Amino acid sequence: MSSNQHGAPAFLRIDLAAVAANYSIIKNKVGPDCVVAGVIKADAYGLGMAKIWTALENAGCPFYFVATPDEAFALRHLTQKPIAVFGGVFRGAEEDFVRHNIIPVLNTMDDMERWRDAARTREVSLPAILHFDTGMNRLGFTSLPDNIDDKNLDIKIVMSHFACADEKGHPLTAQQFSRFQTIATHFPHAQKSIAGSSGVFRSASYACDMVRPGLALYGLNPTPEVKNPMRPVVSLSARILQVKKIPAGETVGYGASFRADKEINVATVALGYADGILRSLSNKGALYYEGQACPVIGRISMDAVTVDMGTHMPASGTMLEVIGPHQSADDLAESAGTIGYEILTSLGARYHRVYTG
């Protein structure tokens, strides 16, 4: 992360007030009887765990999910509220989980047995979340585990995860929910949770007792077929390093993958795949100058993107919009043939980060 704005090639602005507003949008959507947990794994989707946690904490977030034990231990320095780890408890990490009061999401019988053993050794009942695979075919139990009434396991939450909730009307979503409801009857005293960001907006019944939004908190669209209901969180702009006029017939960039069919003004912009601007954007997508789309031409390189400036010849140092009013992170992802998650989590460390709100 650049500490000197004058030496920074690009600026990443993160609106913490928008994060808090997005949390409130989801809270209002699910109502007062549903817990809205904050998913802040992967350094809060690349935006900075500590800063995002502050915004969520100020919005009243009561519960947090991360992906790995190391993320949980780092977060524990910030809060005493419940923290759960999606990836379970790694072998040998049981003592650290107990000491830091981290709740594992148990995905396998091996997870469960080791967590039971940790509880029996201490002669206590340890909190846990049981994850059931209802159709994702990734993590989770595929059937009821043995001895679910073991007094050493305090099963706080029973959860599953939708595979296709971002696709409106996908039949698997309803099938998964039906399977989850059947499983949930075996755990009358545990909270139930299946919906992430997209599930929140598909059906009120999917909210259950807890929802676990991630992408929606960060301004990505949980309902891609309609206008984004969330407030934008991220904006990104980058400096022009040089603009030059090239004649018809000349090529641009590695591999000479772009050839000009007329005289054009080419700007070289100070960001590249080292900064999370995916190489798949080569000869696709655009950056924006004064609201005008400037097509990406040539290959994305490690430190540079080249764009066609049309008739414009802005001075070196002029900023171009990468993500902002004219192009969301989801728009950029579509041009790259990927999803907004990958754009946010790929954003590099060389940006000068500015937190507002």
State the chain's maximal CA–CA distance in angstroms. 79
CA-based torsion, 214, 216, 222, 224: positive or negative: negative
Beta bridge partners of 269: 240, 305
Is 41 catalytic? The answer is yes
Residue 170 CB coordination number (10 Å): 15
Is 254 catalytic? The answer is yes
Exposure string (b/e) for 45-82, b if CB count within 10 Å is 16 or more? Answer: bbbbbebbbbbbbebebebbbbebbebbbebbeeeebb
Between β-strands 83-85 and 64-66, what pairing exists: parallel, antiparallel or unpaired?
parallel
The catalytic position among 41, 156, 218, 288 is: 41
**Measured between alpha carbons, how far is 337 from 278 in angstroms, rounded to an integer?**
10
**Measured between alpha carbons, how far is 299 from 280 in angstroms, rounded to an integer?**
8
Q: How many helices (H) and strands (E) does the chain have?
A: 10, 19
**Measured between alpha carbons, how far is 158 from 152 in angstroms, rounded to an integer?**
16
> Crossing angle of helices 49-58/16-30, nearest 10°?
50
The catalytic position among 151, 244, 245, 254 is: 254
Between β-strands 264-269 and 305-308, what pairing exists: parallel, antiparallel or unpaired?
antiparallel
Contact by Cβ (8 Å): 170, 203: no
> Crossing angle of helices 69-76/49-58, nearest 10°?
60
Catalytic sites, residue numbers? 41, 254
